[in-house]
């Protein structure tokens, strides 16, 4: 029996595969209800949701959104609001990396997309999570985890300085936001995975 006010509900972005899928499965084992966000592969997201239910999640649904667009972020959180539990966790995992290239070979379109998906999207998702979790907004607190990267240490020269810079922005954002909402019951942290055996690599 899962009581709605005690069961944690976590939204994991980019959870159809890789680190996001592994994170969702781990949360399921710990009794979290889940909203599994995906951008393109509904079939993979559905498989992760089924895994989560089998592993003990009391609730697991999938939700599609292109997080680079604010309207789609809002629609994603509208789906979160329909869940029978109250949002208490956000894992900002969704992110992209592009082909290895030097900066002088990168298009403006690539740079814009990198920043939209890897910086703007997590900020929009965090904003919506805070509106639901912060005691200032009548929430009961919660946790935001931003997925950064070990690429911030080297800057990834001649590989993808755009990606590394986007994750550097996430690190700074995490520090500031953590202080901004610390007194409102919301904990904000970042993890910096190294090279991980996922589809990206």
Residue 88 parent element (H or E): strand 87-92
Which candidate, 25, 50, 26, 24, places its Cα nearest to that of 37?
Answer: 24
Given the residues 38, 77, 163, 173, select the one marked as catalytic. 163
Distances (CA, A) of 127 to 52, 173, 181, 191: 26, 12, 11, 19
163 is catalytic: yes
Dist. CA 87–CA 106, nearest whole Å = 38
Give the full edge-to-edge strand order of the sheet including 33-38: 60-64, 33-38, 9-12, 87-92, 142-147, 186-191
Which candidate, 57, 48, 51, places its Cα nearest to that of 9?
Answer: 57
Phi, psi of 78 (to 5 degrees): -65, -35
Question: Which positions are annotated as active-site residues?
Answer: 163
């Amino acid at each position: 029996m899962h009581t709605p006010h005690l069961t944690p509900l976590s939204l994991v972005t980019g959870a159809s595969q890789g680190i996001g899928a592994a994170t969702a499965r781990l949360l399921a084992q710990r009794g979290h209800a889940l909203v599994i966000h995906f951008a393109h592969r509904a079939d993979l997201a559905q498989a992760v949701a089924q895994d989560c239910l089998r592993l003990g999640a009391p609730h697991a649904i999938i939700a599609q959104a292109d997080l680079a667009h604010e309207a789609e972020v809002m629609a994603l959180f509208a789906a979160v609001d329909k869940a029978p539990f109250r949002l208490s966790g956000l894992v900002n995992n969704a992110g992209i990396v592009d082909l290895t290239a030097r900066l002088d070979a990168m298009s403006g379109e690539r740079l814009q997309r990198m920043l939209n998906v890897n910086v703007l999207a997590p900020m929009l998702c965090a904003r919506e999570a805070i509106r639901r979790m912060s005691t200032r907004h009548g929430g009961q607190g919660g946790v935001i985890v931003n997925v950064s990267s070990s690429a911030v240490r080297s800057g990834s020269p001649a590989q993808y300085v755009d990606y590394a810079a986007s994750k550097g922005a996430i690190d700074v954002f995490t520090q500031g936001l953590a202080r901004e909402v610390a007194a409102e019951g919301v904990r904000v942290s970042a993890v910096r995975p190294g090279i991980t055996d996922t589809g990206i690599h």
